Structure 1
């Protein structure tokens, strides 16, 4: 996004009279502010950066402009099908993807070689723990593993959601009953807290994506499981002290690989309240086009091309050669299936998220409670029992059980 902001000066020069006013916000703040503006039709923004959670929900509420009738030269069919599906509701596309990501495992090849260790192509979480124990050198400022600990439905719960999936867990059963106070959640959360407590950096509850990216780029993490989009930064010697030392593997699995890697799409959308609809549409099509991707590669290096959105990116030999993380990203993106995200059946779509309006509040609550447990405030059993009860109350107030009872009785 920083690069888009820099390159947009070229767009302004090509469009005299148009000026782009950027508002840059921290991720949790961004979500809160956009949710308030879009739901109240505040009209503060003409273009919004939103994700795979918001696009279909807000589109279905008619809070976003549908992006029908895109020009042929936009090459809509070049977008990854499962990425495009995440931004679609009722047959209408409501956002265009700026970049997409799976979660993958980053690791320091030099540290592995020094200890005679090998990273499996598809590790388990237990193998990650054993490797973290062998690589943890806090006296030298290197921690065995870095993971998201900062509270937020798109921060710690994005990572923890996939870990729960890998342990065979799920958010809800087919009747929308919360499944938080269950053995898979207990195993996953206990494992996560113990892993970070033993082999993570100090104060892990302060670290989200950006903080862990900075730690890894500075050589402080032996391993990191997070968004594949970080690869472009980590292999750039201008931004990473370990650029030539980074290895890449699939996200860890455990009892299952289903839902063990997330699919997230950062995208650009136009709120229904925009008063500059055509100008906004022209800009977002430019900023997500094949021509724009080429421009980024020319300016910042081929490996910096925004990943995960277009099939043609991965058909380009120069990109595959320049981006050592490209194959792992491509294989992970092709494998993820948000329509079948868990080992056991569920009534929702989404891997690290649940595609219902209540999820943002529910996962924010759980994220805060887990972050508290990470700092020693509360035992896992108590935290998960409290979360289970709170989420059940939320779902009951929202009418999910009444509706499921009516369905069971054959009522409309």
Structure 2
């Protein structure tokens, strides 16, 4: 008996998605709830499971197709036997022809059959570095390969990336005597739905909000000393490392409670104030930056905050974040310091009204009690919507965060 596999409900206000990857092909055996496809939505990638155990029948959509919630994208024959490779290949929809600018990989880097289930980013890394995916242990969900797995294997191998074969070019190479003798290549890659949405939201924030940024610097001495003193006991008791984000999340909570407008948002002609603190924490995912929400930060301790953030980071890496993880949030913290940023002007995450930007820690000479001393300093930035938040309120909120980090005892006694 054939069962239809339909696009599931993708989340509030999300009505469609894009086929990002087929994890199963016609003739493949599939178990109950085993993922058969990956759908890219505006916020996250969602895996579509099979409702029954059986054999994949027809695929009714190709990679890159946009499909609406409830649409039939494949069929599965319940309890059927897996088809032979030849039969499977015969029933598989033909792959689209590569673009003229797409580079061909050398024969030595040809992927095995297992590579057909790799994500586009992982597949490109496999071809670029000449790695056999079947020889690399995946750390992603269900043992799937991630881009980081491939890069680690390439580093361990110690080889330079495999040189791609020349690709056909639609434009003639410059013939001037000063031109480079090597052929210059251009690759065109369609933006993912997530990247398109990120671009639209960031541009919308600039067009709608009256954005302004205020800066300060923080002496990280007290926090660093606290971490060094208690990190082993903390890890032993809570089974999680004590990081900087827990300190900044709790410090931000003090600021948001004292300056409610920084934790509010504009809805039409109304201002919505929140008596809770849900902090969106920006983390890197293969498809771009995502901001899952740590909820009720004002009610959680350092250990639970650190566990939540670590879990989000892991699930962002293996692509298992859900729409529920991304929904809501009253304030955002973005840490560009992990990438080496000294200073930046972060952009708000609509409909939120403010975002805290963290940066790298570096030793600098500062004046303390009339003497020049070397201290580990960090620049912090608060970007805010000036339609709602006055400059005095923004500066006050950032100063509260600075004071709490420089004297962590304030977080314990609610100062």
TM-score, structure 2 length as denominator? 0.22
TM-score by length of 1: 0.22
Q: Considering only CA atoms, is the larger Rg found in Structure 1 or Structure 2?
A: 2
- Choose between structure 1 and 2: higher helix proportion: 1
* Larger relative strand fraction: 2
